Amino acid sequence: MTRRQAAMPEAADTDSGDPVLQALASRLRLLRARRAMTRRALARQSRVSERYIAQLEAGTGNASLVLLHRIAAALGVPVGVLLQEVAEPPPELLPVQRLLERLSPAQLAEARHLLAERFLAVRPDLRRQRIALVGLRGAGKSTLGRRLAGRRGVPFHELDREIEREAAVELREIFEMQGQAAFRRLERAALDRLLAGPGGMVIATGGSLVTEPDTYETLLAHCRVVWIRTSPDEHMRRVVEQGDLRPIRDSRQAMRDLKSILASRESLYARADLVLDTSGQDEDRSFRDLLDLLEP
């Protein structure tokens, strides 16, 4: 055995009847055949031993996630394609992806709107009449959204309340009885129902909507989205003022959790069309600033 072969990791033998491994074996053989790629070539390019690849293709290899990533990279596909979580992307998609990767964040936002208008039948005039507010609880979404809807003479919708109306139970019961996946389905259904209606509206979303990619993309495509942000201290104070005393019970841990959530979602919130910082501002000043953003 050469030093190079010795450095390559091997696969542990496992049950050849495992349906997950059989599906992986079939997918790997298909992808390699499509590329007219020998096992030896795949082993060389992925830095994974040829014996390991043979075991995977036989459905007897105990797959390592790290090595699967290497094999997927050598085949030029996302690792999810190997695991059959996603279909292999069409060849036309690759040059489009490379083009988009060279765009700035502002250009990406513009490209998203152009594609939505062209292929999702999004009307720019209707999109301008629909305002969606995103951000953590306590930022002021409901308060500002209600005033904005009143000024514009359009309906105001709190998406969480729409979800409760669809499910005929409170959010807490949805999570306890049906789980996160059911909540996400109801959230998407409620949003689709609102967007199917005519005319303008103002929507205050739940703080975690931005973590659901498809739902957030729909919101960005059909609404002008404003990130209502404020400082962690302001978030905490406003939540307590709304009657939720849980943060007081363990203020240090609650603040750490809040900062962690903000940090993890910041890049998602930042995809909004506009940003309004309400830190240190009273309601009237924040509302005037919101109007200035939307109606310069």
Percentage of residues of the chain with pLDDT beyond 90:
37
Confidence of residue 272 (pLDDT cuts 50, 70, 90): very high
Domain membership flag for residue 149: yes
Residue 281 belongs to domain with CATH number = 3.40.50.300
Distance CA 133, CA 204 (A): 5
CA nearest to 45, candidates 75, 66, 67, 24: 75
The reply, when asked if residue 179 is annotated as ligand binding, is no
Asked if pLDDT for residue 280 goes beyond 90, the answer is no
- Going by C-beta distance under 8 Å and a sequence separation of 6 or more, which residues neighbour residue 86? 78, 80
Residue 18 belongs to domain with CATH number = 1.10.260.40
The token pair that represents 94 in the structure block: 């690759």
Distance CA 102, CA 105 (A): 10
3-state class (DSSP) for residue 59: coil
pTM for the model: 0.68
Q: Are residues 83 and 134 in the same domain?
A: no
- Convert the pLDDT of each residue in 209-238 to its tens digit: 998 888 999 999 999 999 999 888 887 887
Domain membership flag for residue 110: no
Q: For the chain, state the CA radius of gyration.
A: 25
The reply, when asked if residue 140 is annotated as ligand binding, is yes
The token pair that represents 28 in the structure block: 């790997």
How many structural domains does the chain have?
2
The reply, when asked if residue 143 is annotated as ligand binding, is yes
Across 31-51, average pLDDT: 87
Domain membership flag for residue 105: no
Q: Which of 42, 64, 89 is the last residue of a domain?
A: 89
Q: Are residues 193 and 58 in the same domain?
A: no
Place of tokens 């000043």: 285
3-state class (DSSP) for residue 16: coil
Structural domain for 62, as ranges: 9-89
Q: Are residues 206 and 269 in the same domain?
A: yes
Domain membership flag for residue 96: no
**DSSP secondary structure letter of residue 102:** T
Of the candidate ranges 48-52, 181-185, 192-196, 268-272, the one whose mean pLDDT is the lowest: 181-185
First-last CA distance in the chain: 72
Q: Are residues 135 and 272 in the same domain?
A: yes
Which pLDDT score, from 0 to 100, does residue 68 have? 92
Strand order in the sheet with 224-229: 156-158, 201-204, 130-134, 224-229, 274-277
The reply, when asked if residue 271 is annotated as ligand binding, is no
Asked if pLDDT for residue 150 goes beyond 80, the answer is yes
Q: Which of 89, 110, 142 is the last residue of a domain?
A: 89
Q: Are residues 142 and 14 in the same domain?
A: no
The reply, when asked if residue 178 is annotated as ligand binding, is no
- Convert the pLDDT of each residue in 240-251 to its tens digit: 777 654 544 556
Which pLDDT score, from 0 to 100, does residue 249 have? 52
The reply, when asked if residue 281 is annotated as ligand binding, is yes
Distance CA 137, CA 116 (A): 29
Distance CA 78, CA 71 (A): 10
Q: Are residues 151 and 285 in the same domain?
A: yes
Asked if pLDDT for residue 61 goes beyond 50, the answer is yes
Residue 267 — φ and ψ, nearest 5°?
Answer: -65, -25
The token pair that represents 226 in the structure block: 């404003």
- Convert the pLDDT of each residue in 85-97 to its tens digit: 555 667 777 788 8
Domain membership flag for residue 66: yes
Asked if pLDDT for residue 158 goes beyond 60, the answer is yes
Residue 17 one-letter amino acid: G
Q: Are residues 261 and 214 in the same domain?
A: yes
- Convert the pLDDT of each residue in 92-135 to its tens digit: 777 888 888 899 988 888 888 888 888 877 788 899 999 999 99
Q: Are residues 21 and 148 in the same domain?
A: no
The reply, when asked if residue 14 is annotated as ligand binding, is no
Q: Are residues 76 and 130 in the same domain?
A: no
The reply, when asked if residue 80 is annotated as ligand binding, is no
**Are the C-beta atoms of 210 and 220 separated by less than 8 Å?**
no
Confidence of residue 3 (pLDDT cuts 50, 70, 90): very low
The reply, when asked if residue 142 is annotated as ligand binding, is yes
Which pLDDT score, from 0 to 100, does residue 146 have? 96
Which pLDDT score, from 0 to 100, does residue 137 have? 83
Q: Are residues 185 and 284 in the same domain?
A: yes
Q: Are residues 129 and 76 in the same domain?
A: no
Q: Are residues 34 and 147 in the same domain?
A: no
Instruction: Compute how many other C-beta atoms are within 10 angstroms of the C-beta atom of residue 166.
Output: 15
The reply, when asked if residue 138 is annotated as ligand binding, is yes
Domain membership flag for residue 103: no
